[in-house]
Structure 1
Amino acid sequence: MSAADIFAEGFKAEPYWWEAAAPETDLDPLPTRADAVVIGSGYAGLNAATELARAGLDVVVIDGGRLGEGGSTRSGGMVSSGQKLVVGGAIKGIDPELFDRMIGDSISSFDYLQTLIQGEGLDADLAITGRFFGAHARSLVEPTWRNGRILAEKTGVNVHFYDRGTQRQVIGSDYYYGGMVVDEYGGLHPGKYHRALRERARKAGVKLRSHAKAGPVRDAADGMKLVPTERGDILARHVVSATNGYTRKDGHPELARRVVPVKSYQIATEPLPPDLIETLIPKARMISDTRRDVIYSRPSPDGSRILFGSRPGFFERDDREAAPAIYERMTEIWPELKAYKITHAWSGFVGMTADKVAHMGKRDNSDFAAGCNGNGVALMSYLGYQTAQKILGRQNQPTAFDRDQFTAVPLYSGNPWFVPIVAAWYRLRDWSERR
């Protein structure tokens, strides 16, 4: 199938998730004063806003675009606990005691997400189906298993190990040289989860306003802060910045030196035969692998199609132009999918940090939570909640992610000029390991 032939009739260059839960526009006037302003309407911002409002504060959430248009509804919707810290290599250079606390908070973030969705009856299609981590090179099988044993020891999850001869029990592909499955991981529907958080926030009394791009927060009289926006200024006692991969240097100059937006792309296949999906991804598991230039895949929550995410190459492209390269990577793992087209292609920015760890704290005259590093569904929801608890003085102790040390990226001021260089280096190393 040629590149031009991979697009199904009615193809859309926007997230598949928006079919069920589209972003919102709310152009009601902004308040001139509030107890708290939350900048950014993603998972962190909405969880923070709801906790503050439930405590009796007058809260407004503002977003530069539509509500739910940013990274939260553009993700793969996978949920896990401490996997990124252990498997992603963030353990390097971190004090062991601090690392153990981070693992504890990561586990708490996963528990928080499940309790939130199940306890409050949120419509989010959360399903704990397990996750397969594939070794893309023969030399990485043993390190993958070693990481799995550490993950089981540190987080208490159940991990199962497979070599190349047994991996078809858990993934219908011969691409990998083995891998592991973590039973307790799963996924949700990012669009539905976001819509449920919006509804939850409104019920708590939160005002949600779109198309109100914010400028730098300034000190004002009597301990207040001034939040300038394109639609007017707001005076507030507290400001929460929850912009993550959409942090701009003209809005948050200090954070913008520390959070690098890296674009990740996804495609969705057309509806597939149910038996084919079960063959390729048994038990609707989440899929990722050991590549630095990471891939991630899963069935859609309704089981009708396969979603696949990656980067198309070294340089950023528009979503339609990127789709053939993503399709090629998908069909390299599952050649059977060459017989099917794609209905959606989209991208979103992931907030990356120099130490590969999320951060909470105070910068740019506001409390912030940022740096999901590709693990944001549970963690950013939790850090939004913790930011609110901190403002309210209700924390028993600070989270491990709330640290003064937050290193700026060298030679970086908000323009990620080095991302293509790093992407090329990652892809070269991945190729070398596999070949």
Structure 2
Amino acid sequence: MNLLHANDRRGDYPPSWYAATVKPLPRHAPLRGAVRADVCVVGGGYTGLSAALHLAEAGLDVVLLEAQRVGFGASGRNGGQLGSGQRMAQTALERLLGEGDAAHLWQLAEEAKDLVKSLVARHGIECHLKPGVAHACFTAREAAAEHAYAEHLAARYGYEQIETLDAAGFAALCPSPAYKGGTLDMGAAHLHPLAYALGLAEAAERAGVRIFEGSEVHDIRRGPHVRVATDAGHVEAEHLILACNGYLGGLDRRVAARVMPINNFIVATAPLGEDARRVLTRDVAVADTKFVVNYFRLSHDGRLLFGGGESYGYRFPRDIRATVAKPMLEIFPHLAGVPLDYAWGGTLAITMRRMPYLVRLAPNILSASGYSGHGVGTATLAGRLMAGAVQGQAAGFDAMARVPCPAFPGGAALRSPLLVLAMSWFALRDRLGF
């Protein structure tokens, strides 16, 4: 089954609060006939849009092919958190790669946050970008570990924008009975993810990128010039960038063996009015320490946007509201009975080590994907790194590509059932409080 069509109507954004609160861009026509370009980008999310924008600004002729609409996938559906660091903790990266490479990856992660903020400012993207992401802990032991990690970042990397919070301090920020402390990172941020994606698309088009929507890629022929075919046309280009993330399908088996699509879900409550202060007392986002993480923030119109629950097959659950309401009410029991005005799902992609998979598949074919829930900044940066690599400036791309990314057990064929078993076990540990 093709994830591009498994859960959504062809050519339409999902019925999310995000889609309801942006003005959609005029629909771009599908690709028809033969087109030539310097670079063909496949995928219209953050990765592809950032790559296309940076390439076009460097003077290259760029065609971007999107199977649905720009921002249709995870880029337009996620929790909107622009986190610090990589998805893997710096302490784990230090053990895996050594202090030098880990420090380089920390610097790239800082560049990712700065890049998003600069793109929003430079292109006037109205996406409600605000500072602050809190990390919430369920036990005093978890809180102590979180505080120690913040001290490590300050001591080793000079990162001093994290405030440590004890149980009382965290309750003053987030009045949930579930949490026993945590941290608040004011160097991180949150935003309206679909508005950000559409803003990148507008900027790319102004820079000269030719965008074709409704143009699903079915075949790629490699060679000195690549040939990328859709239903009604094809692109011939000197370079190809694959920016498909969880929607890659069968376009490349090497990537598919290492990048696994999974589904995640979000609800938006009715506006909470004065009750919003019983959720958060400051306009920041929150993610907690569950393996199947809960993440939430208040929208600019006073709703709780709450993400929780995962699934590992192709299909979304029949009742997304019920799927997300369960963890939401564990965190905020006082919201029982509050209407859930919107509920939607999305497909992201993970890797075994939760680090993105950047790879040169051929001398003129690059791919980046597998952001593992950390994609707002990382995907935007990956797009810029691939644009640089196309132009012969590959230091940043190569640094990310050096991170080992093992294939899932069973490769592309068996990864899904084996992952279901593993994820189900970790989800059970969450429920049992281990």
Instruction: Report the TM-score, using the length of structure 1 for normalisation.
Output: 0.89
Supply the distance in 1 between the matched residues of 2:255 and 2:406 (Cα, whole angstroms). Answer: 10
1:358 equivalent to 2:356? Answer yes
SS where residue 26 of structure 1 aligns? Answer: coil
Structure 1 residues 322-341: aligned runs within 5 Å? 322-341=320-339
Question: How far apart are residue 374 of structure 1 and its match?
Answer: 0.7
Provide closer, same or farther for how the CA distance between residues 313 and 335 of structure 1 changes in structure 2, counting only shifts above 3 A.
farther
SS where residue 416 of structure 2 aligns? Answer: coil
SS where residue 336 of structure 2 aligns? Answer: helix
Work out whether residues 227 and 234 of structure 2, in 8 Å CA contact, stay in contact via their aligned partners in 1: yes
Question: How far apart are residue 338 of structure 1 and its match?
Answer: 1.1
Work out whether residues 71 and 197 of structure 2, in 8 Å CA contact, stay in contact via their aligned partners in 1: yes
Supply the distance in 1 between the matched residues of 2:31 and 2:410 (Cα, whole angstroms). Answer: 40
SS where residue 192 of structure 1 aligns? Answer: helix
Aligned amino acid, residue 261 of structure 1: P
1:64-95 Cα offsets, whole Å, 9 max, x none, are 22222111001111112206332795555333
In the other structure, the counterpart of 2:150 is 148
1:160 equivalent to 2:134? Answer no
Provide closer, same or farther for how the CA distance between residues 397 and 180 of structure 1 changes in structure 2, counting only shifts above 3 A.
closer
In the other structure, the counterpart of 2:269 is 269
Supply the distance in 1 between the matched residues of 2:206 and 2:272 (Cα, whole angstroms). Answer: 38
Question: How far apart are residue 348 of structure 1 and its match?
Answer: 1.3
Work out whether residues 264 and 311 of structure 2, in 8 Å CA contact, stay in contact via their aligned partners in 1: no
SS where residue 93 of structure 1 aligns? Answer: helix
- Give ranges in structure 2 of 5+ residues lacking alignment: 1-12
Structure 1 residues 16-31: aligned runs within 5 Å? 16-21=17-22, 22=24, 25-30=27-32, 31=34
Structure 1 residues 253-292: aligned runs within 5 Å? 253-273=253-273, 275-292=274-291
Question: How far apart are residue 155 of structure 1 and its match?
Answer: 5.7
In the other structure, the counterpart of 1:47 is 50
Which one of the candidate residues 86, 91, 95 is aligned to 2:98? 95
SS where residue 165 of structure 2 aligns? Answer: strand
In the other structure, the counterpart of 2:196 is 193
SS where residue 268 of structure 1 aligns? Answer: strand
In the other structure, the counterpart of 1:343 is 341
Supply the distance in 2 between the matched residues of 1:341 and 1:89 (Cα, whole angstroms). Answer: 41
Aligned amino acid, residue 411 of structure 2: Y
Identity of aligned residues (%): 26
Matched residues, number: 417
Work out whether residues 63 and 212 of structure 1, in 8 Å CA contact, stay in contact via their aligned partners in 2: yes
SS where residue 417 of structure 1 aligns? Answer: helix
Supply the distance in 1 between the matched residues of 2:230 and 2:358 (Cα, whole angstroms). Answer: 23
Aligned amino acid, residue 338 of structure 2: Y
Provide closer, same or farther for how the CA distance between residues 157 and 73 of structure 1 changes in structure 2, counting only shifts above 3 A.
farther
In the other structure, the counterpart of 1:411 is 410
Aligned amino acid, residue 421 of structure 2: I
1:38-63 Cα offsets, whole Å, 9 max, x none, are 00000110111111112222211101
Question: How far apart are residue 34 of structure 1 and its match?
Answer: 1.4
Aligned amino acid, residue 431 of structure 2: W
Question: How far apart are residue 313 of structure 1 and its match?
Answer: 6.6
Which one of the candidate residues 99, 102, 111 is aligned to 2:114? 111
In the other structure, the counterpart of 1:38 is 41
Supply the distance in 2 between the matched residues of 1:331 and 1:413 (Cα, whole angstroms). Answer: 36
Bigger mean CA offset, 367-376 vs 303-312: 303-312
Question: How far apart are residue 172 of structure 1 and its match?
Answer: 1.2
Work out whether residues 86 and 150 of structure 1, in 8 Å CA contact, stay in contact via their aligned partners in 2: no
Supply the distance in 2 between the matched residues of 1:429 and 1:34 (Cα, whole angstroms). Answer: 50
Which one of the candidate residues 160, 174, 178 is aligned to 2:181? 178
Supply the distance in 1 between the matched residues of 2:141 and 2:265 (Cα, whole angstroms). Answer: 28
In the other structure, the counterpart of 1:71 is 74
Work out whether residues 31 and 215 of structure 2, in 8 Å CA contact, stay in contact via their aligned partners in 1: no
Bigger mean CA offset, 152-161 vs 279-288: 152-161
Provide closer, same or farther for how the CA distance between residues 28 and 413 of structure 1 changes in structure 2, counting only shifts above 3 A.
closer
Supply the distance in 2 between the matched residues of 1:165 and 1:115 (Cα, whole angstroms). Answer: 35
In the other structure, the counterpart of 1:229 is 230
Supply the distance in 1 between the matched residues of 2:213 and 2:386 (Cα, whole angstroms). Answer: 22
Question: How far apart are residue 28 of structure 1 and its match?
Answer: 4.3
Work out whether residues 309 and 327 of structure 2, in 8 Å CA contact, stay in contact via their aligned partners in 1: no
Bigger mean CA offset, 84-93 vs 13-22: 84-93
Provide closer, same or farther for how the CA distance between residues 14 and 242 of structure 1 changes in structure 2, counting only shifts above 3 A.
same
Work out whether residues 36 and 237 of structure 2, in 8 Å CA contact, stay in contact via their aligned partners in 1: yes
